[in-house]
Amino acid sequence: MRHSRTAVRALSLALLAIATTVTATGCHRGARGDYALAPEMRPLEVPPDLNLPNTAGASQVPALASASRPAAQAAPAQGGFTVGGSRDEVFGKVGTALEAIDGVTIASRAQLLGSYDVAYEGSNFLVRVVAVDAGAYVSAVDPRGIPATDAAAVKLVDALKARLGG
């Protein structure tokens, strides 16, 4: 029996040595670093392929129509006219001319937008003044924002052109 006690003791010492070696090499439950923190305090781990969005085949932003036209043609060719001077000067002249034309009612004026909301011969539209390279462009615009082509708008623009010399 003595022999078996010695064998058990030797076996116990060997197991104790293995357990000590395993715990000394880092294979233990006590985590270190960020993983020792509470789960809500740990830094977020993002897989490498999710760090940046995939831009292959991303949509292109179209160029503005005004940017694609040459500067000399910045004003439309029909429906208006160009007057020399700054936009603010021409805006004031257009207001004076509109007040002098019989039948024109100015509902509102917006100098920052360069527009007059007018009623003339049964039609409502905007008279707009826009800065261009050659001065200021005066035109009539309907409520949809496109050039006004009805008879009243054309007649008023022609009257303004005659008064302002455009």
| pLDDT tens, residue by residue, 92-113 | 999 999 999 999 999 999 988 8
pLDDT of res. 22: 64
Name the one residue in this structure whose structure tokens are 């116990």: 12
Mean pLDDT of the chain: 78
pLDDT of res. 45: 74
Greater confidence, 47 or 152?
152
Q: Which residues have C-beta within 8 Å of that of residue 119, sequence separation ≥ 6?
A: 104, 105, 107
* Residue 11 pLDDT class (50, 70, 90 cuts): confident
Q: Is 117 a residue whose pLDDT tops 80?
A: yes
Residue 112's closest CA among 91, 139, 86?
Answer: 91
CB-based contact 114:130 (threshold 8 Å): yes
pTM of the model: 0.53
Burial (CB < 10 A; 0-12, 13-18, 19+), residue 137, is: buried
Q: Which residues pair with 110 in a beta bridge?
A: 115
Distance of CA 2 to the CA centre of its chain: 90
Distance CA 7, CA 111 (A): 105
The one-letter amino acid at 137: Y
Tens digits of per-residue pLDDT, 50-77?
666 667 767 666 666 555 444 444 444 4
| H helix or E strand, kind and range, residue 105 | strand 104-110
pLDDT of res. 82: 92
